Amino acid sequence: MTQSKYLGALTSEARGELQERLLSRQSGRCFICNEPIDLVLHNGQIDIDHIDPLAHEGIDAENNFAITHMSCNRKKGAANLEIARRLAEFEQLQAAAKQAGKRGANLGDVLERHGGAKAKLAMRRSGSQVEYSLPASGDHSIRTTAIHHDKLSGMQSIVVTLPIEYLHHDDRINPRSIGTAIRGLIEEFSQKRPQLHSALGWWAPEADGSGAVKVFDGQHKAAAQVLLGSKDLLVRVFLEPDVNVLLLANTNAGGKLRQVAFDTAVMRHLGSSLYIDRVKKY
């Protein structure tokens, strides 16, 4: 942590007043872990640090300070406070998922935490386009987008930006939990660098004509963006696909093609899903 000339010049009384102001702005909670800070009970175990580090051109002024537990601030390492805050939130999701008997948190857990996965999307084909609206996010306009046809697979898809309310995690095609790669992605996206590959999802209508958009690829990148506050994501959505073909393609991506780092347990899960589908067909 680069030394702050601003903090170094404060008297002990002025520093105490600064702690009180920061704590009031943060509703009495640590900037990183969001757990309470008590200026009496935690005396001597509190840090004031720059939100944007001085080493990254952050300013040495009060509006760039936050108050944290000392242990939280020491644990964050070289990460800035915003990144540490997102990582701490994800660690809480991981702990809750494991307590519930899951292998770890996935995109569904992140979406649920941030108000996602609440709505189904209604779409209507109109020639080489689809029409859709997003009323669950407060947008009642009718939009259109082009349908893309993949000649090799015969599948059709659209590329759209959708509010997270309309995005759901497909834990059948992608049963993986989110791993440690999330840290690097959060750091990358926080530097305003773009996502190079959009998430992949699929959609099929139910009896009322609407259906959930189920994301099955790119969950780490999607989760990182949602943790950083993104309220909508760019997604390539396959329209009424043969889901078993997507399952097989995703399994091959993590198997013989080695495009995705699937561990042995995930490969067994996917293999079991494929086997069950074949039995059902038989």
Q: What is the pLDDT of residues 129-168, one digit of tens each?
A: 999 999 999 999 999 999 999 999 999 999 999 999 999 9
CATH architecture of the region 106-241 = Alpha-Beta Complex (3.90)
Note the pLDDT tens digit of each residue in 9-30. 999 999 999 999 999 999 999 9
Does residue 75 surpass a pLDDT of 90?
A: no
Does residue 56 surpass a pLDDT of 70?
A: yes
Q: What is the pLDDT of residue 141?
A: 97
DSSP string, 81-136: HHHHHHHHHHHHHHHHHHHTT-SS--HHHHHHHTT-S--PEEEEEETTEEEEEEGG
- Six-digit token string for 57: 């051109």
- SS3 (DSSP) at 236: strand
Q: What is the pLDDT of residue 259?
A: 58
**Edge-to-edge strand list for the sheet holding 121-126:** 139-146, 129-134, 121-126, 210-211
In angstroms, the Cα distances linking 196 to 74, 161, 174, 229 are 32, 15, 20, 18
End-to-end CA distance of the chain: give it in Å, rounded.
Answer: 63
Check: CB of residue 67 under 8 Å from CB of residue 73.
no
Check: CB of residue 67 under 8 Å from CB of residue 23.
yes
158: nearest Cα among 192, 139, 131, 181? 131
Residue with tokens 């198997």: 255
Distance CA 69, CA 36 (A): 9
Q: What is the pLDDT of residue 282?
A: 55
Does residue 279 surpass a pLDDT of 80?
A: no
Domain boundaries, the chain: 5-78, 106-241
Amino acid at 143: R
Q: Is pLDDT larger for residue 126 or for residue 201?
A: 201
Query: Is 106-241 the same fold as 5-78?
Result: no
Burial string for 180-215 (b: 16+ CB within 10 Å, else e) reads eebeebbbebbeeeebeebbbbbbeeeeeeebbbbb
Q: What is the pLDDT of residue 10?
A: 92
Alpha helices by DSSP H, listed for the chain, are: 5-8, 12-25, 70-75, 81-99, 107-113, 181-190, 219-227, 243-254, 264-281
Name the superfamily (CATH) of residues 5-78. Answer: His-Me finger endonucleases (3.40.1800.10)
Q: What whole-number percentage of the chain has pLDDT above 70? A: 89
Does residue 262 surpass a pLDDT of 60?
A: no
- How large is the average pLDDT for residues 165-194? 92
Query: pTM score, two decimals?
Result: 0.79
Q: What is the pLDDT of residue 3?
A: 78
Q: What is the mean pLDDT of the chain?
A: 90
Amino acid at 245: V
- How large is the average pLDDT for residues 204-233? 96
Does residue 176 surpass a pLDDT of 80?
A: yes
Q: Which residues are 239's β-sheet partners?
A: 203
**Phi, psi of 240, rounded to the nearest 5 degrees:** 45, 55
Q: What is the pLDDT of residue 109?
A: 96
Residue 215: pLDDT band (50, 70, 90) is very high
Residue 278: pLDDT band (50, 70, 90) is low
Burial string for 94-107 (b: 16+ CB within 10 Å, else e) reads beebeeeeeeebbb
